[in-house]
Structure 1
Amino acid sequence: MYSYEDRLRAVQLYIKLGKRIGLTIRQLGYPTKNALKTWYHEFEQRHELRSGYTRPAKFSQAQKERAVEHYLEHGKCIAATIKSLGYPCRSLLLAWLQELQPRTTRVVGRTQELAPEAKQSAVIALCTRPASAQAVADEVGVSRGSLYKGKNQLLGDDAPASMKRKQDAPASSDRADLVQQVETLRQDIRRLQLEKDLLKKANELLKKELGIDQQPLTNREKTLMVDALKSTYTVTELLYELNLPRSSYFYHRARLEVADKYADVRQAMANIFERNYRCYGYRRLHASLSDQCVKVSEKVVRRLMKQECLIAATSKRRRYGSYMGEISPAPDNVLNRDFSAGAPNEKWPTDITEFQIPAGKVYLSPMIDCFDGMVVSWSIGTRPNAELVNTMLDAAIDKVATSGERPLVHSDRGGHYRWPGWLARIADAKLVRSMSRKGCSPDNAACEGFFGRLKTEMFFARDWLSTNIDEFVVAVDAYIRWYNEARIKSSLGFLSPAQHRRRLGIAASMTAHWAMG
């Protein structure tokens, strides 16, 4: 039931908001749609709301009199009256009888009224009873309620408490049982508190969410927890709860006091990991450490990565398509998933990928060399149009214009690679076209793989909320240059594409273009 002020506030806000029911209800949190409409129609007709509301009577005076008359004329039976008329309920009929015929209702039960002397004796017996109050009532011949009513009438608020039988003191055996129960409860409380403290300490020290199971902890981690809580609990309690052997505890405690021989390695690993977009796994970290003349096994690198929480980024979803239908004849799939190349500039797969950041969308069009995965040329823009792919192709063609090399250019069936500008450039440079089958991304796996690595290592692992378009383009360009110059690959003997070419005596060059239209 809403007050007058609440209803008036709702109607005034409804009118102020242009009679928008949903917005009014969301702001106030009440009422229902139909209730607000009813209030408004009342306000519109009367220019005011009723301050109160009286529910109309459900039964008329004639119906009330008819029910009472039927009751009196048919044996004064409430059930028969309700069954015959179909109304009202039992309590309502009794109320009508009390209102219209107060002396006709029958009293059920004993109506014996005690004499003043008998009532006084009964009250004394109640207050001094050795047994229950019901036994006294049965002996006197009245109900238990009447007995207490007489007590209140005679003694009022000064009535003394009944002289009940005193409970016998518990036997010594019962007292011992109670003491034992109390001690058991104390132990249970201490054990539960210990479990709670262990869970909290595990989260504080080890940053682990363990639930109720402590078994995933290593003995070294359990030792750290014992040392942290031994000022509150005994070592024996902690060892038992953690299921840690005493010898293992003292062994790891002694090991903790020894200086960490991998302290420098940990720092070097962290620096390499942060410097390389937090994308290196244990293999590339191990290779990078070897380049710095740090000799440790791969197993040690894996263990230290786990301890230092150096977790490489993982891949997420991919979603962008440039297919526009068969707008021109498609060349054969000459590449046919053979991404191996014996020399640079033999096979060039290309594609377009999309980046969605809060500031907008950015598109990247690279040209990949199947020889070592180097990005030969790339263009970055905010629109996936012909300029994006054509400028990238022009930059790639410039690299082979004087060498006489004619690479195989492989793409998907997107419309960018069927437009006249693209076809004319391919024909003028005498390059060979190749296209994947329709909807078959594995046919262009070399370029798709580059996109996956780029987004996993650089895009998905970072928060771009406060980055604008220009800053993001610079970040993508910096990653690609790092990818060519510094990112080591196990397939190249843990060298980057540029390092690999320099070792082979091949000049490496790359060109970028930013199409910010």
Structure 2
Amino acid sequence: MVGFIDDQRGKHGVEPICRVLPIAPSTYYDHLAKRADPARLSDRARRDATLRREIERVWEENYKVYGVRKVWRQLVREGFSVARCTVARLMRDMDIRGIIRGKPHRTTIPDKKAPCPLDKVNREFRVPAPNMLWVSDFTYVATWTGFVYVAFVIDAYARKIVGWRVSTSAQTGFVLDALEQAVHDRRPTKAMGLVHHSDRGSQGGNNRSSQHRRSYPV
């Protein structure tokens, strides 16, 4: 966003651009001041800048194959006091990652032939009250005995998980079980007009639970 303002400020001006974008002019000017004088950055921002250089160095020195765990362990061996989650956050921000052995694993595969429900939320995931919009997805975790799949339903109002299930196979049943758990615990009413939103993934028939709207008794 700051880069866009940098590119367009000469043509449109900073204030007009900020009126359209969700950013205040003071925020933009503060960013410019910190960019010109790194001493004005917060302690965390300065430490992140240092760690980014070290993370990239370790990653480059090891042929760009190290992932979060190995980069973190190498930094600790070199005497850096840094949490693994910090390394993960910075590598994600830097868009660098390790090489994954074996065949990449995909949770869902879009089925272009399957009917696609209309987007009832128009990519707007802010709601004024609970039980108006639930979003769901599922992911996987690699273990020594194979993959474990986790389905979850999140209430968009509080970003709280309201239903979840774990399974050793990526089938529709456990995804719908997570939704039914959320319904049982929350008991949304018809007046709430609850919308359940998910992606278009179709692996294991999961398009059956793709975005739909239902009414439930109290």
Q: What's the TM-score once normalised by structure 2's chain length?
A: 0.48
Per residue, is there more helix in 1 or in 2? Answer: 1
- Flag the structure with larger Rg: 1
